[in-house]
Amino acid sequence: MSKIKNYVLGTWQEGQGTGQVLYNAINGDEVAIADAEGLDYGQILHYARSKAGPALRKMSFQERGRMLKALALYLTDRKASYYPISYQTGATKTDSWIDIDGGIGTLFAYASLRRKLPNQSFCLDGDLVPLSKENSFIGHHLLIPKEGVALHINAFNFPVWGMLEKVSVNLLAGMPAIVKPATVSSFLAEAVVKDIIASGILPEGSLQLICGSIKGMMDHLNYQDVVTFTGSATTGKMLKAHPRILEESIPFNMEADSLNCSVLALDAKPGSVDFDIFIKEVHREMTAKCGQKCTAIRRIIIPETYVEDVQLALSARLAKTVIGNPTHPDVRMGALAGKVQLSEVREKVAELSKYTPIVFDQQNQLQALDADVHKGAFMSPVLMYNPKPFEYTQTHEMEAFGPVSTLIPYKNMDEAIELSKMGKGSLVSSVITSDPQMATQYLLGAGSNHGRILVLNAECAKESTGHGSPMPLLVHGGPGRAGGGEEMGGLRGIRHYMQRTAIQGSPTMLTAISQSYQMGSRTNELEIHPFRKHFEEIQIGDEWITAKHTVTEADITNFANLSGDHFYAHMDATSLEGTIFTGRVAHGYYILSKAAGLFVDAKKGPVLLNYGIDECRFIKPVYPGMTIGVRLIAKEKIDQEKRTEDDVPNGIVKWVVDVKDETGESVAVASILTMVKKQNG
């Protein structure tokens, strides 16, 4: 039997030990041997830090984002080859789609975030902080890529998504990764990494793969590294307490299996659409991935008067679940990842059933479609009932990591909230209700104990991604038993792999460093209008001082007639008593429109279009007789790649529009964006 290879130090290498035999979860056949014995972990970490780290840090966010997009497209073309391998882990076609397509989708999602980031290797974080009276001394925060390695220790249930959802974030941040997939399903992770390496898209050393034990690797970590862990809370706590983690203050992000719950609100009565949605959602979360999901519903919290209805409806649906070979089109639930997992889950069920009677379990008469039920790791869904949830607390403390869940009755929403919190922290909770008051009560009462809360009802059910699906642009994690960490979360995610550094200095210096204009910085006053410049020619701090205009009552009246805005403060000087105004005041949008009229260069040139307004503030009232002028300053440049051959090559320029009155005070400030043609395509 062949060994799974590890990709380290730029080559595919076999371990030097006996390794661990891996089995097909459906038929029990031997698949491969996983072994990492003999690998030099110190060298592997050094290789990533010295080879890939500098290469990634030299790349801008735009380049890294395009790299992720190219990789996502490359894997999309090859994803069909991963499905037959995934079936061997016990996953159905739908389960595999979540894992494979979901992982590739996360690459796409993070690639698209490049549009929110600058064309450089680091970025500003948050707003400018004034530190002096005359504004000659200011502060800001920068996010700079760490100079270490992201070590990802992943769970067995999602060997593709679990890997890609992590590396997409660290690669966008500019940090290389070493991936340690769970051994039992590492043969699927290996297949995907083989294609990633073969693509040549990533700088060498950006991704290394170790499929066996990494015992001893953490001894070689340092303070620039980051460790992420997904799996059991017991293992996570052990790793988190590693002396090296503590001595070097190494960031450790933990996402642990938790006792997630779903709450059926009182308004979702039996027979209602919301009730049916609830039954369908719980069934899906119990059977998807054979219940081997860190987000699966373990505790079903329902009104005590609905217990019989829920039990009958859910049991009927579970009884119809077709279990067997994932390659058969009629199969809806495959097998657990292996016989070891099956044994562990059945042991937990036996322990839990001492206090919470089983109300549905067909294991004794279980049949597997197109498979031998005795050779594979097949298991019937198990539904239990806890009649005394405040007394029989094992339901809130012990997890059977399979298609197992427990019905828990409650009297009122306060009790439901208390029960949800008895899990001591979860990745996700859901509440099925169409009553905003009930939803708000649950969210505010239980939110501190759950990393994510889904409010599900008929209005959103059709497009909802469901209780158990973490989304790339939302954080995935939770407090307490769930590990206390966060993954993904859009731009929030990159902060885990970057150092936030406070920087202080003059506005001019911070502008030069950040390549983003800071108010008060020196500018380059131009003799040629900046709208006559191509994208490459524009410099941060380029400034255009416009002609001036004296505002009249006729301007205000004409703008009101044109816009339809006849707000009393603009039109009726007799209605201003008790307001902050001393006379008819010009519309804020008139001031902004007039500012555009003053700073726009009308002739055809490199500016292709107005791309929008990011922010706008009206600072000071403008009355008839006041004179306004504009300072137009190039604030930031964002490179844009061509999407098709026919696209006009361009970039986005963000401008500060500072409208001042005759005293030199700002009356309005806005950030506008223009799409500007490049000189060279």
DSSP state of 344: H
Note if 290 is an active site residue.
Answer: no
Bridge partners of 504?
A: 139
Identify the burial level of 577 via C-beta atoms within 10 angstroms of its C-beta, where 0-12 means exposed, 13-18 middle and 19 or more buried. exposed
What is residue 331's three-state secondary structure? coil
Among the options 294, 399, 487, 543, which is catalytic?
294
Note if 255 is an active site residue.
Answer: yes
Taking the C-alpha atoms of residue 206 and residue 191, their distance in angstroms, rounded to an integer, is: 17
**For residue 621, how many other CB atoms are within 10 A of its CB?**
18
Taking the C-alpha atoms of residue 584 and residue 640, their distance in angstroms, rounded to an integer, is: 44
From the list 185, 192, 172, the residue with the least C-alpha distance to 211 is: 185
CA 31 remoteness from chain centre: 33
572 near 599, Cβ under 8 Å?
A: no
* Rounded to 5°, angle at Cα 456 from 454 and 462: 115
Taking the C-alpha atoms of residue 541 and residue 656, their distance in angstroms, rounded to an integer, is: 10
**For residue 282, how many other CB atoms are within 10 A of its CB?**
27
Each residue of 383-421: b (16+ CB within 10 Å) or e?
bbbbeebeebeebbeebbbbbbbbbbbbeebebbbebbb
Phi-psi region of 8 (alpha: psi -120 to 50; beta: other; left: phi over 0): beta
297 near 405, Cβ under 8 Å?
A: yes
Among the options 14, 190, 255, 636, which is catalytic?
255
Each residue of 433-455: b (16+ CB within 10 Å) or e?
bbbeebbebbeebbeebbbbbbb
> What positions carry a catalytic annotation?
255, 294
